[in-house]
Amino acid sequence: MEPTLDVGQRVLVNRFIYHFEDPSTGDIVVFHPPAGADTSAECGVPHSPKEACPRPTPTESDQNFIKRIVAGPGDTLAVRDGHPVVNGVEKTDEPYIQPSTTCGVCNLPKPITIPPDHYFMMGDNRGESDDSRYWGPVPRDWIIGKAFATYWPPDRIGIF
């Protein structure tokens, strides 16, 4: 999630908010990724190298990941120059990202449709992030909560 978060930085997470409202595009969330995401970036189904992974593996990992939601249920998603193209609209107003156009998953022109009750996650360091582009959308039930502030180290205390 660099440059938004540094390695080793600690965050506060609201575990209750998604009991009352749906996650939104742009939210930074802590979640359990699909099994295989933490070791081999495994996709749940065979797919074209020109599209993001459209389905996760069926079981969740016990690891905690933190990423940004870039698309939600029913959205179509492609990736152009590291930016999500959601429902045909490229999101280029992302001042928080570290862009990259040279990574293997920075250009995925074939759109996928996000399944019901799933969310597509991308890290802010687009060229170095292992995220939903590799291992698929995340079921809502695997989302732990919304990150809203940092508390460590002291010189990086702040609210998102």
CATH of the domain at 79: 2.10.109.10
Average pLDDT of 40-61? 94
Among 4, 15, 30, 19, residue whose Cα is nearest residue 126: 4
- The answer to whether 50 touches 108, Cβ cutoff 8 Å, is yes
pLDDT at 138: 98
* pLDDT grade for 39, boundaries at 50, 70 and 90: confident
Residue ranges making up the domain that contains 127: 10-155
- Predicted model pTM: 0.94
140: helix, strand or coil: helix
36-45, 60-69, 97-106, range with greatest mean pLDDT? 60-69
pLDDT at 56: 95
How far apart CA 134 and CA 56 sit, in angstroms, is 9
* pLDDT grade for 18, boundaries at 50, 70 and 90: very high
How far apart CA 49 and CA 109 sit, in angstroms, is 10
Asked if the structure places residue 101 within a domain, the reply is yes
**Two tokens, residue 137:** 């959308």
Q: How many domains does the chain have?
A: 1
How far apart CA 103 and CA 124 sit, in angstroms, is 14
Mean pLDDT of the chain: 94
How far apart CA 23 and CA 18 sit, in angstroms, is 6
Asked if the structure places residue 17 within a domain, the reply is yes
pLDDT tens per residue across span 112-158: 999 999 999 999 999 999 999 999 999 999 999 999 999 999 998 99
Asked if the structure places residue 136 within a domain, the reply is yes
Proportion of the chain above pLDDT 90, given as a percent: 81
Cα 22 to chain centroid distance, Å, stands at 16
